Chain A
Amino acid sequence: MVEFLQQLINGLSLGSIYALIALGYTMVYGILKLINFAHGEIYMIGAYIAYYLVMIFKLNFILALLLAMFFSAIFGIIVERLAYKPLRNSSRISALLTALGVSMLLQNLGLKIFGGDPKPFPELVENKAIFLGDIIIFNQQIIIVVVSIILMIVLHIIVRYTKTGKAMRAVAYDQEAAKLMGIDSNKIISYTFAIGSALAAAAGVLIGMRFNRIEPLMGMMPGIKAFIAAVLGGIGSIPGAVIGGLIMGISESLVVGYISSSYRDAIAFAILIVILLVKPEGILGKNIKEKV
């Protein structure tokens, strides 16, 4: 029981990270029907931006986090404009392959520019262990969960209550109709990429803070897992991404705790295969069949 609760808590923290990244995937997919393979690399870039900000300018955690989010948002917009916009009217396969290409490009540029060796992320927040009986909770984990919740609330407010948020939902629902209503879909698409990238970057910074090491390929696995989380929750659904992220995080922690850490990645793919076979539209997704 103790082990279960322990892994549950670990899973909550891990799941929050996946949820933050998954939100970016789900929002971009909702708007462009594109799987942004490169999203995991934004997570990595966010971590590195924060790293250099702290190393060079000696910024504190919150400032580094916010600035990393800001610059990553801009980076996300640039990637969209350069690589995805030209393919708006192409086949989905072309867009998919391009996203794959961008992902690989960023990974390898990262390897070239930052070097393949992991960098020690400075300790921005002192790690303290809190004991609840036999269960250990690290304050860093609490910070991850708290920051994630705050960001998700902010996102919720933006999407629900602002004009831009409403426009985002409109474009996701029907891009042509939204354009007819006077919405500048290009701007909204950029906005969506910006928000998604900011969230992914936040996740990267949080992970850097927690595990004190970053490396250029750090985005690969979390990126795939977060994508699976988005699919699990229902791709295109924001609450779905959160639910999916948490489920992914908790399942992974449980597998690591109870079975073996060698299978921590395999469980993610197993979940993906199961969900795509059983309910491909995800937990909160809608089933849209092709019209004959």
Chain B
Amino acid sequence: MLLEIKELTKDFGGLRAVENFSLNIKKNDLIGLIGPNGAGKTTIFNLLTGVYEPTSGYVKLLGEEITAEKPYKITAAGIARTFQNIRLFKDMSVLQNVLVSKHFNVEYGMFGGIFKSKLYQKEEIRIKREAEVLLDRFGLQDKMHLPANSLPYGEQRRLEIVRALATNPALLLLDEPAAGMNPQETAELMELIRGIRKDFKIAILLIEHDMKFVMGLCERLVVLDYGKIIAKGKPEEIRNNKRVIEAYLGEVEE
């Protein structure tokens, strides 16, 4: 069992954003988290990554409790994420964006950097190589030295994913990775994610609104509405689930 989420609840003052969210994620799972807008999906991500502290409930990664740990510690423990609204380091180069993800793993300290020690030189070569390999795999190597915000939208989204992967996670959280993409880009993204899952042997939990994308890609789905899970299961089951249809229809009607 990779990630055990038990009855996570989050209140913001009088508003209950998430209630009793429970989910078990195994290594190499590919799970989709779906639901109407405002259902609490990104809140779940924020709870898992330490951005929010849950009101109650816990999260255990490989048996170790990580509930309410600081985000950087959770990343070091093995959970990485992308953001709904791209949060790249805009004025840093593509390469540097990825190198930041290597930071917590680097062996030399600040004095090593100041005096350019042998270890510094060795480590810099190592992480740059690792970053370049990753960028190459995702077709961004040519633009390595360009500022991140000079990339077209689709490549920026890709860079977000690369950056998260560079932290060597066991679990990758993707927040609306297909947002703003046309059908072709979406299909390519599906292939990309399948490839990541296979090659990197990691588990993936993703949030998406594009039903074709989610149904075609994920093994399991979890459906959220008003902060509560209303359905869990395989895509075929969810597709015909009455409560789920109502939840989405309700959204369209408004």
Interface residues of A (CB under 8 A from B): 292
Contacts and interface: CB of A to CB of B under 8 A. Distances in A.
A292 B51 CA distance: 8
Contacts of B46: 292
Contacts of B83: 292
B42 interface: yes
B63 to A, nearest CB: 27
Size range of the interface on B? under 10
Interface in B53-109: 83
A101 B83 CA distance: 37
4 contacts: A292-B42, A292-B46, A292-B51, A292-B83
A206 to B, nearest CB: 41
Interface of B: 42, 46, 51, 83
A159 to B, nearest CB: 27
Contacts of B42: 292
A289 to B, nearest CB: 9
A288 to B, nearest CB: 12
Contacts of A292: 42, 46, 51, 83
A292 B44 CA distance: 12
B42 to A, nearest CB: 7
A292 B83 CA distance: 8
A281 to B, nearest CB: 14
A91 to B, nearest CB: 12
A3 to B, nearest CB: 43
B100 to A, nearest CB: 18
A292 B46 CA distance: 8
Q: Closest 4 A-B residue pairs measured CB to CB?
A: A292-B51, A292-B46, A292-B42, A292-B83
A292 B42 CA distance: 8
Nearest to B45: A292
B71 to A, nearest CB: 10
A254 B89 CA distance: 49
A133 to B, nearest CB: 49
A124 B214 CA distance: 78
A292 B47 CA distance: 11
A292 B81 CA distance: 12
Nearest to B81: A292
Contacts of B51: 292
Nearest to B84: A292
Nearest to B51: A292
A292 B85 CA distance: 9
Nearest to B175: A292
Nearest to A289: B12
A292 B52 CA distance: 10
A292 to B, nearest CB: 5
A220 to B, nearest CB: 35
B85 to A, nearest CB: 9
A291 to B, nearest CB: 9
B84 to A, nearest CB: 8
A49 B43 CA distance: 56
A19 B46 CA distance: 41
A103 B46 CA distance: 42
A155 B239 CA distance: 59
A176 to B, nearest CB: 18
A292 B71 CA distance: 13
B53 to A, nearest CB: 13
A292 B10 CA distance: 15
